[in-house]
Amino acid sequence: MTGRAIEEGLRARVWRGTTYWSGRARLRDLGVFAKRFPSTVSGPPFVLVHGIGVSSRYFHPLAVALAEYGPVYLIDLPGYGAAPSARRDVSLGEHAAVLAELLDALGLVDPVLVGHSMGTQIVSRLAVDRPDVTDRLVLIGPTMDPAARSFLRASLRLGHDLLREPPLTNAIVVWDYIVRCGPVYYFRQLPHLLDDRIERRMPLLTARTLVLRGDRDPIAPAAWSRRLAELAPDGRFEEVEGAHVMMFTDPARAARLIAGHATQR
């Protein structure tokens, strides 16, 4: 992983026998944490962007699976995971702008942007604001449909999803929510997620777009996900077995769909 934005020496880390590289970057007055899972093939780079409250840790199984098709970059957004704490609130637009600057600094050419949950709102905003960055977009479990745009409804759906996820998924998600992100930053970020209107951006996308959801996901309903795919000029919809964090429970299937989308002409 190279680029002028990486301010700390890269460190080799190991996850379940797979070595990856990581380092922090300072952009504007904000910091991010990036991980690179190398690949032995010369496929397109994949950039994975997490949702609210969590970090890139729940992407690790997907990163290993996707590395069979190309290098994979995982991003901890400002204030999340191993990224430096954000000393102020950060809007979705700022998250998207910081991500764009990081991609420029890393020198990534035509990366496949993959967002999950709130990450779908960020990568779709980036794709509209900077259409030169990517021509392939993947939105996993996109948030948030109009019926759930309140704190109570969103919380009920999150609780419902926790009942459908396996214990290991919940352990990672809950730890990140409580310890890594913290309730103060989470509640600062939540209004941005609820106020955003991702459906208004979908018709503006120039990137070929895959909308992907788990077939038991209570946070991103099927009708909503299908509608977003239909709104995109070049969009399609797919389902994978699982709940909201289905890329953790079935990474191989998710990786095949994402890689197929990346190479489709």
Residues 87-128: pLDDT tens digits?
Answer: 899 999 999 999 999 999 999 999 999 999 999 999 999 999
6: pLDDT confidence band, cut at 50, 70 and 90?
low
Average pLDDT over residues 34-57: 97
Chain-wide mean pLDDT for the chain? 95
How far is Cα 110 from Cα 45, in angstroms, rounded to an integer? 8
- The mean per-residue pLDDT over the stretch 16-37 comes to 93
**Residue 264's pLDDT band (boundaries 50, 70, 90)?**
confident
pLDDT confidence bin for 174, thresholds 50/70/90: very high
Helix extents (H) in 34-182: 60-66, 92-106, 118-129, 151-162, 167-175
Which is more confident, 45 or 2? 45
Please tell me the pTM assigned to this model: 0.95
Task: Give the pLDDT score at 44.
Answer: 96
- Judge contact between 181 and 54, C-beta under 8 A: yes
Instruction: State pLDDT tens for residues 61-71.
Output: 999 999 999 99
Q: What is the dihedral of CA 78, 90, 61, 82, to 10 degrees?
A: 20
In 10 A of CB 149, how many CB atoms?
Answer: 15
Q: Calculate what percentage of the chain has a pLDDT beyond 90.
A: 93
Tell me the pLDDT tens digit for each residue of 233-249: 999 999 999 999 999 99
Residue 237: CB atoms within 10 Å: 18
Domains of the chain: 11-258 (3.40.50.1820)
* Helices within the chain (DSSP H only): 60-66, 92-106, 118-129, 151-162, 167-175, 183-195, 198-201, 222-231, 246-249, 251-263
**pLDDT-derived band at 132, boundaries 50, 70, 90:** very high
Strands 235-240 and 208-214, by their bridges, are parallel
Task: Say what the pLDDT of residue 2 is.
Answer: 43
Q: Indicate if the pLDDT at residue 224 is higher than 60.
A: yes
Evaluate if residue 228 carries a pLDDT over 80.
Answer: yes
Is the pLDDT reported for residue 7 higher than 50? no
Segment 153-176 shows an average pLDDT of 96
- Compute the distance between CA of residue 103 and CA of residue 197 in angstroms, rounded to an integer: 24
